[in-house]
Structure 1
């Protein structure tokens, strides 16, 4: 009679609802993968936003210099007297470097025409050099 009672108790336990250790471990792994995917998406989007911000700032620095040159009298618009072999000048307090080139119309088809090219460069988070170039 003791044997029947113990079997009946074992049968009763197997009918109880709940989670086994394996089911719990599988659920934890699935949850961890989902959280990792979300974290990766956030990281990628933040890097994209930082790159877009840097490109916008660089474009503003280039446009600022072009506007400054546009406001000068035509005779005062000359090429930067710095040595062309030297690296571009850094903008103080930033990671950006700006280079300005002024060239006179080379083919001579239009009188009094000058071309202004402004290039702003910087290093991104992956240590890749990025540039923005504006011309008038």
Structure 2
């Protein structure tokens, strides 16, 4: 986790299309992206190369909130999403780059998430823990196969 970078690897039993959709749908993102103990509000989401997004995470216990946003830099449907992140708080300076790689494997989808440029004030291990929680919530969203009623 050198240079304020975290990298995570997971295999999901869901297909790449379902995982990709979880990154492109504002309501889905609000449900799985914030770590435990936080709620997310997606203020805007224009999912296309050059499109921008804006969201905020609020600590459910304290009510304190951090808003952030960025731009979609590269998109390959069902395979790759690369975007920038920047906090609105001047105490959390700099731009992060997050890359999500999806690859179909025999039992579902391999996901590799890399986040670079994490502000120095945020310990990378805390960011890593947050991502682990988010990916657990993502698993619970995408793996159930619930038929229409």
The TM-score with structure 2 as length reference comes to 0.27
Computing the radius of gyration over CA atoms, which structure comes out larger, 1 or 2? Answer: 1
Higher strand share: 2
> Which of structures 1 and 2 has the larger relative contact order (alpha carbons within 8 angstroms, sep 6+)?
2
